[in-house]
Structure 1
Amino acid sequence: MVKNSFISVIPQEREKNCGSVEFQVFGFTDKIRRLTAHLELHKRDFLSQKGLRKILGKRQRLLDYLSKKNRIRYKKLISQLGIRESKTR
């Protein structure tokens, strides 16, 4: 049910391309939000913490790639998701 709400945010032309960077970042953000809610209840679940860190890294790498390739799509995506812009290295 939650996944469908994210899919409805994606424009119709992007819905056909499920492998796009935007679609993958939407999926990772959904997983991150669910894991964060889980970890608020279960603070000592260390395996979930490890999984959360791995997903955060994957999302960050995808966002870095998108920011290098197409800055406009990157800005639009982070504004839709309500996440902060990544720090420059």
Structure 2
Amino acid sequence: MVKNAFISIISQEQKEENKGSVEFQVFSFTNKIRRLTSHLKLHRKDYLSQRGLRKILGKRQRLLAYLSKKNRVRYKELIGQLDIREPKTR
């Protein structure tokens, strides 16, 4: 459902060209995170999946930190589109 909404925002030409863009990577990590969280609701003791989820969360957090430093406007738009909370600052 979210995937279709985001892909409709990005045109087909841009999608093929920008698979390495920060926005596309964050989007794909978000999809993986949502799938893993729904899996872990059923299988609470699947520790390998929990570890994988933590690794993906860390990767997404680093990408979002990079994007917020480089382009704050694109960062805010992406967070709004994907319905992600802003990370806590230290």
Normalized against structure 1, the TM-score is what? 0.89
One-letter amino acid of the counterpart of residue 10, structure 2: P
The residue number in structure 2 matching 1:35 is 36
**Which structure is richer in relative contact order (CA contacts within 8 A, separation 6 or more)?**
2
Task: Give the fraction of aligned pairs with identical amino acids, expressed as a percent.
Answer: 68
Equivalence for 2:25: 24
- Aligned CA RMSD, in angstroms, stands at 1.9
Q: In structure 2, what is the equivalent of residue 78 of structure 1?
A: 79
CA separation of 1:21 and 1:6: change in aligned 2, threshold 3 A: farther
1:50 partnered with 2:51: yes
* Counterpart residue number, 2:89: 88
Q: Aligned AA for 1:28?
A: F
Q: Which residue does the alignment assign to 1:69? A: 70
Query: Residues of 1 paired with 2:40 and 2:82: CA distance?
Result: 21
| Cα distance in 2 for residues equivalent to 1:56 and 1:78 | 14
Give the unaligned 5+ runs of structure 2.
Answer: none
How many equivalent residue pairs? Answer: 88
How far apart, CA to CA, are the structure 2 residues paired with 1:76 and 1:43? 33
- Inter-partner Cα distance in structure 1 for 2:69 and 2:27: 18
Amino acid at match of 2:23: E
Task: Look up the match of 2:10.
Answer: 11
Distance 1:55 1:84 in 2: 16
State whether residues 2 and 82 of structure 2, in contact with CA within 8 Å, keep that contact through their aligned partners in structure 1: no
